[in-house]
Amino acid sequence: MLDGWVPWPEPFARRYRDAGYWEGRPLDRLLRDRARTDPDRIALVGADGARWTYAALDARADRTAAGLHRLGIAAGDRVVVQLPNTDAFVVLFFALLRAGAVPVLTLPAHRESEITHVAEMAGAVAYAVPDLLDGYDHRALARTVRAAVPSLAHVLVAGEAAEFTALDDLDAEPLELPAPDPGDVALLLLSGGTTGKPKLIPRTHDDYTYNARASAGICGFDQDTVYLVVLPTAHNFALACPGLLGTLLVGGTVVLSPTPSPEDAFALIEREKVTATAVVPPIALLWLDAVEWEDADLSSLALLQVGGSKLGAEPAARVAPALGCTLQQVFGMAEGLLNYTRLDDGHDLVTGTQGRPLSPDDEIRVVDEDGHDVPPGERGELLTRGPYTLRGYYRAPEHNARTFSDDGFYRTGDLVRVLPSGHLVVEGRAKDQINRGGDKISAEELENHILAHPAVHDAAVVGMPDAAMGERTCAYLVPRGPQPPTQRELAGFLAGRGVAGYKLPDRVEVVEVFPRTSVGKIDKKELGRRIAERLRAEDGGVN
């Protein structure tokens, strides 16, 4: 059993098993089972157009697992995976599971700061990267990370490996490797984060298989489903809601898009007759515009899932007429809980809510600032526990003590209200995080980086409203000395510290002092109001 994670208490585990949510099967079985029943169906269409049958993908995963084993990667070892939407991701993901190793999934946009922390935290033995991605050399990043994290014995490279191990060379005769305990951790996901450093989310074989299977059921996925991966495969939404895993579980076909651009995605939808996909709101907005000028045939598309940040009611109402498909809003989190609007929900629920919980055993509480339940229908913080929601972050006992109630409810930091139908409306956030079009930025993490700048005395990061992204990032600075950094200088400084690009502040505001709350904390609400006000003034009152 992997140490440092918090299992469900036995009475809950028994209940989830008895209810049939937890089936007691290792996560990789979803591929193995389909390879037996439907060996010749197409499982995966790679970014380069390569077509994999279930049998071929299964066999390749077995050979790679044997290669990993030969390399010395053993059961329980953690392996940081940072691969884009390519066949290599899919093969390595299943191969790691079969070798008993635990993939730690990071985004292609992450850099030295995030990867070093994650690799250290996980005590990872290996790190898998592409050679080059969008002109960026991940092998150079791997050299830096490896120098900083002594546990990293191997770097695995998709493509030109330089001094490292090529993923293609991990190829050996399949072995009968011991199956993992389905109650144990299968993978670690990265949390959006509200603290100084990102946290890792343990997901078990049982819980994650249920996550994918139940999601596939709700979304009506079957063998005829052709699912396009548009968001990074490493993101829970695209991976298992129902995503790549849910599609493979039911015997459908997964198509990988290298980018979410309308050019790439629309061409693939037309060519592969894609039936379903998942995007964040800024991409949905982009696609709604692009259908006006792109003349691709999107008639196969039956379902567009939108989630990650709030989709406005107005664009939500445009999806069905413009794209000719059903809209599904998804309010989910890597920590677990998933809310979906249902395929047969009426117009008002689909456009005006963020869905209702996936599982009959998802427990929902909505509480006020003192932790008391609010009257039905009123707004408060969402707390949840259930068969696929974590009971604790990996190796983070102090943080867990704050983030979970004594009886195991996860405090989501999301402000919601619940309708009589059980649908949730997301009304805001009680956590110190910026949601930049679905990308999550921990204010504290970014502030800590900014405070390292020699010309900054104090920093406070807040969200500012943005039509396309929902929110962007504004850094308020109290300068040290006469020359505080401009936005460009600060962004350059942070990039130099190895901070991921999506976290770089979009705007810098310099002030003499911060407004304070009655208890002396920086009044971020006031800063948020000020920047919103200033943006309105700059727009000449247009917004």
Residues near ligand OOB (CB under 6 A) are: 192, 236-237, 241, 307-310, 329-334, 338, 354, 412, 414, 426, 429, 435, 438, 440
Which tokens is 170 given? 């991990």
Provide the minimum distance between the beta carbon of 279 and ligand OOB in the complex, in angstroms, as a whole number: 10
Mapping DSSP onto H, E and C, the string for 10-66 reads HHHHHHHHHCCCCCCCCCCHHHHHHHHHCCCCEEEECCCCCEEEHHHHHHHHHHHHH
C-beta of 307 vs 463, nearer to ligand OOB:
307
C-beta of 83 vs 434, nearer to ligand OOB:
434
C-beta of 60 vs 117, nearer to ligand OOB:
117
Provide the minimum distance between the beta carbon of 29 and ligand OOB in the complex, in angstroms, as a whole number: 22
C-beta of 152 vs 306, nearer to ligand OOB:
306
Provide the minimum distance between the beta carbon of 103 and ligand OOB in the complex, in angstroms, as a whole number: 17
156/162 Cα distance (integer angstroms): 10
Provide the minimum distance between the beta carbon of 343 and ligand OOB in the complex, in angstroms, as a whole number: 16
Place of tokens 């921990």: 442
C-beta of 247 vs 329, nearer to ligand OOB:
329
Strands 42-45 and 356-357: unpaired
C-beta of 98 vs 411, nearer to ligand OOB:
411
Provide the minimum distance between the beta carbon of 468 and ligand OOB in the complex, in angstroms, as a whole number: 16
Provide the minimum distance between the beta carbon of 294 and ligand OOB in the complex, in angstroms, as a whole number: 25
C-beta of 275 vs 412, nearer to ligand OOB:
412
**Bridge partners (DSSP) listed for residue 373:** 367
C-beta separation of 383 from 411 below 8 A: yes
CB neighbours of 307 closer than 8 A, spacing ≥ 6? 237, 241, 278, 280, 329, 330, 331, 332, 354, 438
C-beta of 168 vs 466, nearer to ligand OOB:
466
C-beta of 194 vs 275, nearer to ligand OOB:
194
Mapping DSSP onto H, E and C, the string for 446-513 reads HHHHHCCCCCEEEEEEEEEEECCCEEEEEEEEEECCCCCCCHHHHHHHHHHCCCCHHHCCCEEEECCC
Provide the minimum distance between the beta carbon of 433 and ligand OOB in the complex, in angstroms, as a whole number: 7
**Residue at shortest CB range from ligand OOB:** 332
C-beta of 131 vs 363, nearer to ligand OOB:
363
CB neighbours of 346 closer than 8 A, spacing ≥ 6? none
291/322 Cα distance (integer angstroms): 7
Provide the minimum distance between the beta carbon of 237 and ligand OOB in the complex, in angstroms, as a whole number: 4
C-beta of 103 vs 332, nearer to ligand OOB:
332
Place of tokens 């350059």: 492
**Bridge partners (DSSP) listed for residue 471:** 465
C-beta of 330 vs 504, nearer to ligand OOB:
330
C-beta separation of 43 from 34 below 8 A: yes
Provide the minimum distance between the beta carbon of 380 and ligand OOB in the complex, in angstroms, as a whole number: 15
Provide the minimum distance between the beta carbon of 414 and ligand OOB in the complex, in angstroms, as a whole number: 5
CA angle 248, 83, 333 (to 5 degrees): 65
In the chain, the amino acid numbered 28 is D
Tell me the three state secondary structure of residue 284: helix
Provide the minimum distance between the beta carbon of 198 and ligand OOB in the complex, in angstroms, as a whole number: 11
Provide the minimum distance between the beta carbon of 277 and ligand OOB in the complex, in angstroms, as a whole number: 13
C-beta of 64 vs 233, nearer to ligand OOB:
233
Query: How far, rounded to the nearest angstrom, does the alpha carbon of residue 262 sit from its chain's CA centroid?
Result: 21
DSSP string, 378-422: --EEEEEE-TTS-SS-TT-HHHHHHHB-TT--EEEEEEEEE-TTS
Which tokens is 325 given? 């498909």
413/431 Cα distance (integer angstroms): 5
Provide the minimum distance between the beta carbon of 154 and ligand OOB in the complex, in angstroms, as a whole number: 28
249/31 Cα distance (integer angstroms): 7
Query: How far, rounded to the nearest angstrom, does the alpha carbon of residue 271 sit from its chain's CA centroid?
Result: 27
> How far apart, in Å, are the Cα atoms of 290 and each of 265, 279, 283, 366, 451?
11, 14, 10, 39, 41
